[in-house]
Amino acid sequence: MLRTATALRTLERRDREAVLGICALDPVASVMLAERVQRAGSEPLRLGGEIWGFYEHGALTAMCWAGANLVPVGVSSPAALDAFASRARRSGGAYSSLFGPAEAVLGLWERLEASGWRARQVRPCQPLFAIDHVPTLAPDPQVRCATPDDIGVVLPASIAMFTEEVGYSPVGADGGASYRRRVAELLREGRTFVRCAPDGQVVFKADLGSVSTAVAQVHGVWVDPRFRGRGLAAPAMAAVVTGALRELAPVVSLYVNDYNTRALAAYRAVGFGQVATFATVLF
């Protein structure tokens, strides 16, 4: 491998520190992979997927996570995109999405689409936001960290959020068992925040879907349609950010579709600032 200008291989246990070194170059963009490797190491059997590493003159310069999704990390050269596209075509994997920094994602997608891959939807512009300070906006005191006992009300809200965002229900052939396990896992780890109506139903929900030592990334933000337009989202998100900064990481991030003007306004009101742009391809 070291005799060639470029090479690609599946990373292994011994590559853990090198992987985390690449993630540290852009901790906000790479939080999903960083969390996995910090928790489980870089061995494929423990990760539940593979990390493809791209080498230039013997040095690891870029990576691509290949699990349920494809996620390029640190990719900045056409040669790396060519290598990852070639590997993805040979892998035979059934990926649900491709997401990450827009330039890398769209470059990889251009190559995959040219070889016959098809997408349900391409979201080319998703502002990536981050905040590293307690919001000046007063947090909603009714937002709290949900517990495992809340599964009965959180699960329907999570299903509604997923269906609205992705376009199909997460309740699949297994009757929703795998999705329920993921929701329950987030509840056990104290990574779901909710506000409930007097009848106990969830009217606001947000998950900390990826948490590394450097960044907590918010996923799955949802407001019950009956309560939208009431100014609920911004104070609720201020509460989420305050809790995450206090308990989990020094930076909180999220990414959002550029056409979601209400969400953009709410996040900016909280104090989030744009640090990059993501893109997502849904298969």
Tell me how many domains the chain contains: 2
- Rounded CA-CA distance 283/81 in Å is 19
Q: Residue 108 maps to which CATH number?
A: 3.40.630
Residues 105, 60 within the same domain: yes
Q: 59: which strand partners?
A: 56
Structural domain contains residue 213: yes
- Looking at the fold, whether 151 and 74 belong to one and the same domain comes out as no
Residues 97 and 218 in one domain: no
Do 109 and 154 share a structural domain? no
CATH code of the domain in which 168 resides: 3.40.630.30
Q: Residue 2: its pLDDT value, please? A: 46
**Residue 1, pLDDT score:** 44
Q: pLDDT 10s per residue in the chain (283 long)?
A: 445 688 999 999 999 999 999 999 999 999 999 999 999 998 888 888 999 999 999 999 999 999 999 999 999 999 999 999 999 999 987 899 999 999 999 999 999 999 999 999 999 999 999 999 999 999 999 999 999 999 999 999 999 999 999 888 998 888 889 999 999 999 999 999 999 999 999 999 999 999 999 999 999 999 999 999 999 999 999 999 999 999 999 999 999 999 999 999 999 999 999 999 999 999 9
In this structure, the answer to whether residues 82 and 148 fall within a common structural domain is no
If asked whether residues 163 and 259 sit together in one domain, one would say: yes
What pLDDT is stored for residue 83 in this prediction?
A: 97
State whether 153 and 270 are in the same domain: yes
Say what the pLDDT of residue 4 is: 62
Considering the domain architecture, whether residues 148 and 272 belong to the same structural domain is answered as: yes
Provide the domain limits for residue 234.
Answer: 144-276
Q: What are the two backbone dihedrals, phi and then psi, of residue 282, each rounded to the nearest 5 degrees? A: -100, 130
In this structure, is residue 246 part of a structural domain? yes
